[in-house]
Chains A and B, each alone.
Chain A
Amino acid sequence: MSEPKDKPSDLSEFDQGESWHRLSPWSVLHYVGSRHSIFTSTILGALALNLSIDRDLLGFIFGAGCLMLIFITVLAIAEQRFFRYHVGENSIQIRQGVFFKKKLNLKFRRIQNANIVHPFFFRPLGLVTLKLESAGSASKEVYISAVTLDRAQSIRQRIKQRLLIEESLAEEVNENELQEKLMLTRTLPDLVLHGLTNNRAWVIVGGLAGLISTTPISFEDIFAQISYIVGPVFSNQNTAYLLALFLLSLTLTVAVTASLSVIGSIVSYYGFSLFRSDNSLTVHQGLFNKQEVNLRKSRIQSVHIRQDWLDRVLGRVNIIFEQISHNNASGQTAQRRKKLLVPSVRVHEISSLLREFLPIDNPAKLEFIPISKRYFYKLIIVWSVVYILLALALASYRPGWSSFVIVAIPLWFLHMCLLFLTWKRAGLTIQENIVIVRAGIIGIDFVLFPAYKLQDIAHTQSILMKKKNLSNVLFSTASRRVSVPYLPTSVVRNAIDHCLFCVESSARSWM
């Protein structure tokens, strides 16, 4: 096994052309690690199956797990043995594949991100994984695993330099463009806050899941069961006891999921520090797997300022720099990877972060074109119909439940209040060729992008809207689609014309 010659930061080494490098044997760990999810899910699945059928099958599960592990390891060793890479003048070439040979020629200028990942299992060895993301499909990601940090950095440096040389033919280059300055760090309390607010959805989902799992199929059953068990003790406070039990289990599940989310936030963002240079942003983050994420500013497509209700209470926002996203089969993970999230940003820090990408200050101070009241009316009508239908269905299903319908009325009212806020928040403005869309319910979200980065733009209206001169507008950038409903048609027409002018008159590339 020929180890790659790890002469650090010697760029000329790459130029000698024909040398193909193998990965260090340690990279087997990387390949095993990248499949751990298959392994754990098999084990979990088998375990679940087993517990429901027969407890004696534990040995079998253990055996299956071991077999799986051996299989994964053998595959990983094979993959390591078949992997070759070559760093050339303008590109990186990869040969890989066990059953299907794959040759890949990744051009430097097509590389969107070159990130250095420090997986926890490589840290004692002082090795890192270089992750190259191309601007193309997510499947064309390349991992060069188990190389020394110096080597990874020199490869990355080379990619950056190449890009700069190419760009410098078009524009003047500053000497200090490659220099990175520390811009922002996040402390542990920040991350705790982020964990509490950002995964709020999970908290709710977790709460619901807890609710469902603690609730047997029929409410009557649980009433019967619990009154049977605790009836003798709490003969009169039966319902109160039940309520207390329910609330307790709810708070418990919420607390557990919230703390899980806090832990998750700390694990992924620990030691978050953001460095800036004139044309890129770099983030260092992660507790176990330290990551160095590098983002070229020109590749940012849009900025999303996200604020959940809890964020609003705490006066924080999350700022997400978004790159090209591809909605393919692995859409979710691919999308998450292409974003750079700055967690728990204080309000006074928003402007300086935004200015990295757009010449604009905190959008909260801008004036937005509001959307028509008819949007609110429409939402009221649609949702009220849903509520009425549900109530009717419920009432006919179990006549005794008609009293439950009374409970639905405050719920309906609350929902209407939220719809009112939704309507109130929605808005659009175009400032200095920057499109800014406002949305949200309690927290306020903004999506900002320069008009010239638009890919296409659509104008939609229903027949009813046409009568009232209202239109929806749908902006598509390479990173996301944003729509604003029920704007005056004249506003939408003007916005579309203006954006098209920006796209068609500017020679600037969206990439």
Chain B
Amino acid sequence: MSPEAALILPLLMLGLACYVYAHAKKLAYGIREHDIVLQSGVFWQREIVQPLRRVQHVELSRGPMDKHFGLVKVKLFSAGTAMSTFVIPGLDKDNGSQIKQYVLDYQDNRAESSNGIESVTGSTGKIPFHVATNPELDPPGAGAQQKDGAD
């Protein structure tokens, strides 16, 4: 290894570590009555608001690293075109489930308060918060619908 490389490499790694730290530090989420907000980004700062009314399904996911540290990711899916999956990484396991439950409850409450139009025969109920009583609310894309179709 040339002396320049020996100098530059650790510097680069240090820089990367600093960036990763700053990035993690900047990550923040907020839960409001009707939406969830996610802030991220060091140089380009981004704030996404996901109205809960538009969430189609919610997912808890954890990789091996997450598992080791007792963490969990919450993913919210909406019909916005690809990429717009809303991910909150690095949550406590309990906290993650609470957020998931909050989203589910929000959907359920809304289903109760709206005038249920007609009960749906084909709903499998495999996706826990797939709202079966209001046809308008059925997710058009992934998840529940595909289950219906495959049956």
Contacts and interface: CB of A to CB of B under 8 A. Distances in A.
A476 B81 contact: yes
Nearest to B139: A136
A259 interface: no
B65 interface: no
Contacts of B81: 325-327, 476, 478-481
A324 interface: yes
B149 A105 contact: yes
Contacts of A176: none
Interface residues of B, number: 41
Contact of B140 (A105, A136, A454): A136
B125 to A, nearest CB: 16
Given A107-B122, A166-B118, A481-B84, A456 B136 contact: no
Contacts of A503: 51, 53-54
A507 B53 CA distance: 9
Contact of B146 (A90, A136, A166, A461): A136
Nearest to B141: A136
B117 A166 contact: yes
Contacts of B46: 458-460
A109 B135 contact: yes
Interface in B109-123: 114-115, 117-118, 121-122
B40 to A, nearest CB: 10
Given A327-B81, A511-B140, A458 B114 contact: no
Contacts of A236: none
A500 interface: yes
Contacts of B49: 456-459, 496, 500
Given A109-B135, A136-B149, A504 B84 contact: no
Interface in A115-138: 134-137
B146 A137 contact: yes
B107 interface: no
A109 B138 CA distance: 10
A91 B136 CA distance: 17
B16 interface: no
Interface in B121-145: 121-122, 135-138, 140-142, 145
Contact of B45 (A170, A460, A511): A460
Contact of B136 (A454, A459, A476, A511): A511
Candidate in B46, B48, B49 with the most chain A CB atoms within 10 angstroms: B49
Interface in A432-463: 454-463
A324 B81 CA distance: 8
A106 B82 contact: no
Contacts of A135: 140-141, 145
Given A324-B79, A457-B49, A103 B114 contact: no
A504 B136 contact: no
B47 A459 contact: yes
Contacts of A463: 43, 45
Interface residues of A, number: 48
Nearest to B34: A504
A91 B123 CA distance: 13
A454 B49 CA distance: 11
Contacts of A462: 43-45
B44 A455 contact: no
Contacts of B118: 166, 169
A466 interface: yes
B43 to A, nearest CB: 6
Interface centre among A169, A327, A500 (most CB of B within 10 A): A500
Interface string A326-353: 1110000000000000000000000000
Contacts of B44: 460-462
Given A169-B118, A460-B45, A507-B114, A455 B141 contact: no
Given A106-B149, A135-B140, A169-B117, A458 B47 contact: yes
B80 interface: yes
B150 to A, nearest CB: 7
A170 B117 contact: yes
Contacts of B34: 500, 504
Contacts of B150: 103-104
Contact of A455 (B43, B79, B135, B148): B79
Contacts of B54: 454-456, 503, 510
A477 interface: yes
Contacts of A479: 81
Contacts of A461: 44-45
Interface string B16-54: 000000000000000000110000010111111111011
Interface string B75-89: 000111111101000
A504 B142 CA distance: 22
B4 interface: no
B45 A456 contact: no
A503 B9 CA distance: 49
Contacts of A511: 136, 140
Nearest to A478: B79
Interface in A92-124: 103-107, 109-110, 112
Nearest first, the 3 closest Cβ-Cβ pairs linking A and B are A455-B80, A476-B80, A135-B140
25 contacts: A103-B151, A110-B145, A135-B140, A135-B141, A136-B140, A136-B145, A136-B146, A137-B142, A140-B149, A166-B118, A326-B82, A326-B141, A327-B82, A457-B49, A458-B47, A458-B48, A459-B46, A459-B47, A459-B48, A476-B80, A477-B80, A481-B81, A496-B49, A500-B49, A504-B34
Interface of B: 34-35, 41, 43-51, 53-54, 78-84, 86, 114-115, 117-118, 121-122, 135-138, 140-142, 145-146, 148-151
Given A135-B140, A137-B142, A170-B115, 10 more contacts: A326-B82, A327-B81, A456-B48, A456-B80, A459-B47, A460-B47, A461-B44, A462-B43, A503-B53, A510-B54
